Structure 1
Amino acid sequence: MSSGPDPRHDRPIFVLGCPRSGTTLLQLMLHSHSRIAIPAETKFLIPAYSRRCEFGDLRERENRRALAEWITAGKTTKFHALGLDAGEIVDEIVAGPPTLGSAIGIVFRAYARRHGKPRWGDKRPSYFRHVGTLLRLFPDAQFVHLVRDGRDCVASLMEMPWYDKDLHHAVSAWREAIDRGRRLAERLGPDTYYEMQYERLVADPADELTRLCGFLGEDFDPAMARPEGLAKRTVPPRKKWHGRTHDSVTTSRIGSWAERLDSWEISLAEAAFGERLAEYGYEPSGLPKPPASQLARFTKTSTHRRMAQRKAALRERWKQHHEPNPVECLLAAQSTVTPTM
């Protein structure tokens, strides 16, 4: 028996990975846990951080109110999907600590409270690019990186109605997620960063989720391995790209890239991924290497993306010198459970 509450249980959980790597399935599995609440993508955390200088000094109540109203009423934030009372959240943020992390933490804490759970998290594939930001806001956070065969991710991305880029960008996205993940694993260590593979997760959900719960400091909840019931209630039918979450966990999509991608697309992806596929145990197709002209085009796209990311990093450093407040969450505890005296 534990002698007291484990502080690990209060740590925010962030799910990340290349788009179409199964992060929605993992989010549903985690949300099925009796102690963890993780909503669908809310899309206000990084935009709020990017705009933090616009809200002014958060020691001023009216500035906290402006931030709170932007979170709760902004057309792009998807706050409405959380099922929370906007007025109550605004009041709570205005009365809370004067930092951006505190305001964001109040929203997610309220979401967890609504579900009767003591711990919260958030999911967005692109968070793999923003781990530094998330750690500035929540220094005690834990990160779960879901990795899937890059060829399956690329094939799925190219079929998405919302994906407006080409194959070269899709290939770059997976490679970037893998490379960032390696650096994060080295920098953050096994208490903060955890990597798991989609193929193993769907092949043996209970075993993989038990390991994940060990990392999170939680007991395994069998409901996690049966997320389809939750998906039917929470994943809207209009999001057809998440339709398979309504069914039992299955391995049927593993390796489907072989039928969904053309030979030249497979060759280009494998050449760009290099040893990364083999290091995760993904078998090569055996196709010949792509023409040099195709590789040159991919290299051009990859270089442009890298340059854009460097420019964004420079802008971020400038903002850090000009931000009006510290950003770290100052809530006494992320837990929604009132401690007994």
Structure 2
Amino acid sequence: MSAIGKGLRRRGRLMAQAVSPPRRGLDAVPAPRDTEGSRAGDGYVAPRAPRLVDSPVFVLSCVRSGSTLLRVLLNSHSSIRAPHEMHLRTLHVHLSRDFTADAMRALELDKEELEHTLWDRVMHLELARSGKQIIVDKTPPNTLIWPRLHRCWPNARYIVLLRHPGAVVASLTDRRTDPDPEQIRAEVLDYGVRLDEARRTLDAHVMTYEDLTADPERTTRGLCDYLDVPWESAMLDYGKKDHGTFRPQLGDWSPTIRSGRIQPARPADPKVELPPQLDELAKAWGYPID
């Protein structure tokens, strides 16, 4: 073929490409609208994958119930790692293509089990870094998802930490810059209902914040018995240990917890009237009701 003929053919190809829509690589294809990555009507449930951490410990409590104090006492034990709030429930897996769920299903995985595997890996990584044997997560919102934690870790252990609902309401009211009393009571009730479900359902160690602050040695000895570790007096002197940064979203950051000393619990004000549902919870948890 002559040089002129080759040139004309090349020019024709270039013109055709110019008027044709551009080809898109895989990365340029928009993600499907189904951000969960599963097909509608697909009821597949993946089997539970092996866990790196077989029996983690979860503190279940309302907010403002002394879980940070309990954390630092436990973290002061030579065998127990209790980091700041881990917020595992906010770690999600995004299956961004319509075929991703099929690929994971072929590996006997679904979105929930992928998230559980991620949670387990995070727990194991933190435990391995600490060089300890037991890991404890004290994130209060775990209380709202305890059934899912139980699905993820059937052998998990639980510490149910109670505090008088009236004292929780008072503490939240003091902490908020513009408190809404109705919203605060609803929040405490939501936590309280789920916490009571866990208390009645799980084989958990149940304790109160009031007992922890009034008699910390006896209370922590009971905890150590439950966790099958020897009690250590260093647990009561948590101020001598490094527990990381005390700051918002990771736990309590008040001067009380920063003091390094166990201080008395603030009692509920008997003059403050609570909604009937919170009164019933307080009664079920063994608190005196006028």
Q: TM-score range by the shorter chain?
A: 0.5 to 0.7
Q: Is 2:79–2:134's contact at 8 Å kept on the other side of the alignment?
A: yes
Q: Distance in 2 between matches of 1:244 and 1:233?
A: 16
The amino acid across from 2:278 in the alignment is: F
The amino acid across from 1:245 in the alignment is: I
Which one of the candidate residues 67, 90, 107 is aligned to 1:23?
67
Task: List per-residue Cα deviations over 1:18-74 (Å, max 9, x = no partner).
Answer: 11001111111111111111211122x11224x4555945977xxxxxx9xxxxxxx
Aligned residue for 1:14, secondary structure, equals: strand
Give 2:281's aligned residue.
276
Give 2:77's aligned residue.
33
Give 1:204's aligned residue.
215
Aligned residues: 228
Q: Identity rate of aligned residues, in percent? A: 26
5 Å-filtered alignment, 1:1-341, equals: 11-43=55-87, 45-49=88-92, 51=93, 56-57=100-101, 99-161=114-176, 166-189=180-203, 193-230=204-241, 234-236=245-247, 241-247=253-259, 248-251=261-264, 253-255=265-267, 257-258=268-269, 266-267=272-273, 269=274, 271-284=276-289
Q: Is 2:83–2:243's contact at 8 Å kept on the other side of the alignment?
A: no
Where does the alignment leave 5 or more consecutive residues of structure 1 unmatched? 1-8, 61-66, 68-97, 287-341
- The Cα shift of 1:212 comes to 1.3
Q: Distance in 2 between matches of 1:197 and 1:12?
A: 21
The amino acid across from 1:184 in the alignment is: A
Q: Distance in 2 between matches of 1:209 and 1:58?
A: 48
Q: Distance in 1 between matches of 2:221 and 2:79?
A: 14
Specify which structure has the higher proportion of helix. Answer: 1
Q: Is 1:171–1:272's contact at 8 Å kept on the other side of the alignment?
A: no
Is the alpha carbon distance of 1:57 and 1:48 closer, same or farther for their aligned partners in structure 2, counting shifts above 3 Å?
farther
Q: Which has the higher contact order (CA 8 A, sep 6+)?
A: 1
- The Cα shift of 1:106 comes to 1.9
Q: Distance in 2 between matches of 1:42 and 1:58?
A: 30
Q: Is 1:227–1:245's contact at 8 Å kept on the other side of the alignment?
A: no
Aligned residue for 1:134, secondary structure, equals: helix
Larger Rg: 2
The amino acid across from 2:89 in the alignment is: I
Task: List per-residue Cα deviations over 1:79-133 (Å, max 9, x = no partner).
Answer: xxxxxxxxxxxxxxxxxxx843232222222212222112212121111110111
Q: Distance in 1 between matches of 2:146 and 2:119?
A: 16
Q: Distance in 1 between matches of 2:90 and 2:102?
A: 17
Q: Distance in 2 between matches of 1:25 and 1:216?
A: 18
Aligned residue for 1:275, secondary structure, equals: helix
- The Cα shift of 1:249 comes to 0.4
Is the alpha carbon distance of 1:58 and 1:153 closer, same or farther for their aligned partners in structure 2, counting shifts above 3 Å?
farther
Is the alpha carbon distance of 1:58 and 1:12 closer, same or farther for their aligned partners in structure 2, counting shifts above 3 Å?
farther
RMSD over aligned CA atoms reads 3.3
Is the alpha carbon distance of 1:47 and 1:53 closer, same or farther for their aligned partners in structure 2, counting shifts above 3 Å?
farther
The amino acid across from 1:154 in the alignment is: V
Give 1:80's aligned residue.
none
Q: Distance in 2 between matches of 1:237 and 1:124?
A: 12
Deviates more, 1:121-130 or 1:239-248: 239-248
Q: Is 1:58–1:99's contact at 8 Å kept on the other side of the alignment?
A: no
Is the alpha carbon distance of 1:186 and 1:278 closer, same or farther for their aligned partners in structure 2, counting shifts above 3 Å?
closer
Q: Distance in 2 between matches of 1:117 and 1:220?
A: 15
